[in-house]
Structure 1
């Protein structure tokens, strides 16, 4: 069989509220096998876990309430003639510029940017924002 693929796998787990009663967000454990790392917007500041050529390992990241997690395909970040690290930094500017807007607007901004710079390239988008308030569990 002449095929290949990449993968980002993630598991999200609720975190308990803080001592002051604020929502705890989510704990994400993730791993990547040849796929770009997820982008994370922490209230308008992009956090880049970074790409690695080391053997695959699990990573843990606290997702604060209101942050935006964006697992992306390479079609979202790759640009002809541009290194991957620079392409990821530039891709992160779009979510940061749309911080505070609804997830559909953020995704529209990313899709529009991707389709303008690399028309015809396949893209897949997903966004997750941990809630600002802790949900009551009964």
Structure 2
């Protein structure tokens, strides 16, 4: 069964190119253009991995990441952004992202980072990971 990717990117050209590349690589992709839709799709679709742009309309990628983590969602998150400063990378990782790639990027590097994130992920489905996170918080 193909792995599912939720791609949230407001730049239409980047979104379409990356969606096509991920699809050709064998992923099942849901692509959205803003943070509000990204959060809704993350709740609805329970993807295996998220690729989030930081600067998006509605809710930015950092807030999407924070909200998912606050809910106990442990789905791997790769931030994909034009923000290149060390402080920006730290902010993304501190918001709960698992990895951070700066634009412009090489699509092969994105593929490699997604494979690495998925290797480190428990083989349970995202709903079970989210439920386990909720159980962990309740026990604390």
Pick 1 or 2: higher relative contact order, CA cutoff 8 A, min separation 6: 1
TM-score (norm 2): 0.29
Q: Name the structure with the higher helix share.
A: 2
- Asked which structure has the greater CA Rg, the reply is 1
